[in-house]
Amino acid sequence: MFGVIISGRPVLTTFDTISPTQAQLTIPTFPPFGHIVVFMLPGATLPEGQSAAVYIRIPPSYEFKLWGELSNTKQSAIFKIRNTSSGNGGNNLGAVDMDAMIDEDAQAKQMGGSVEPVTIGISLEPTVQLEANITAQKAAATASVTGLELVRHTPGAVASQVSTKVLAQRIIANAFNFLASFSSAGSGGNEVVPLKSFQEWWKKFERKVEMDPTFLERGDV
């Protein structure tokens, strides 16, 4: 139903089925690439009220992060990959959907087979819920880069106070990014996430707060 295009490589259409509503595709990170096109195959249609959420996992992270969506009225999307050697990996709002970063050093190591591939995940989700999640994530990302809610983090600097609403949005985005990869189809076509997965997220979130109490204020979700 879906395909992926990376410049200079063959079109990829062989996704691994994870569940009736989820599939994933792994992509070697070497040679380096700048953009990924995700699209619906000709003749493919999504169920009424459903859209395809596009997630990405970039090593060494084990978390899938929400990039965007495909729908019957938007059957393709271009995602920009920003190569960087700064080591600041993460997802930021960009001019073309959602940007992601791949460390150039990690790409070089791929020649020796020591780096895991990028993984693209597709998940069929209710359109209303998915669009709300994308809006919340973009709002949180915009808040972290516009300087309206806080000062850009620099060594030794103290971030300005962030509103409770923005902090809540970032906690929700953090939980959603982690739990999305564990969801599966339940009765009535609803997405179900095991309680154990939420417990694992909470433990990880607590450890992150203990190690760096200001990460939410900086928007590093």
Give the three-state DSSP class for 209. helix
Retrieve residue 219's tokens. 């928007």
Q: What's the confidence (pLDDT) of residue 25?
A: 94
Cβ neighbours of residue 214 closer than 8 Å, sequence gap 6 or more: 153, 159
CA 116/CA 55 separation, integer angstroms: 16
Cβ pair 159, 192 in contact under 8 A: no
Per the structure, the count of domains in the chain is 1
What does the pLDDT read at residue 161? Answer: 59
List C-alpha distances in Å: 190 to 16, 43, 122: 21, 25, 16
The radius of gyration computed from the CA coordinates of the chain, to the nearest angstrom, equals 18
Residue 97: predicted pLDDT? 42
Residues of the chain with pLDDT under 70: 82-115, 141-162, 185-189, 218-221
Q: What is the pLDDT of residue 135?
A: 85
Provide the pLDDT for residue 21.
92
Determine if the pTM surpasses 0.85.
no
Range of the domain at 7: 2-218
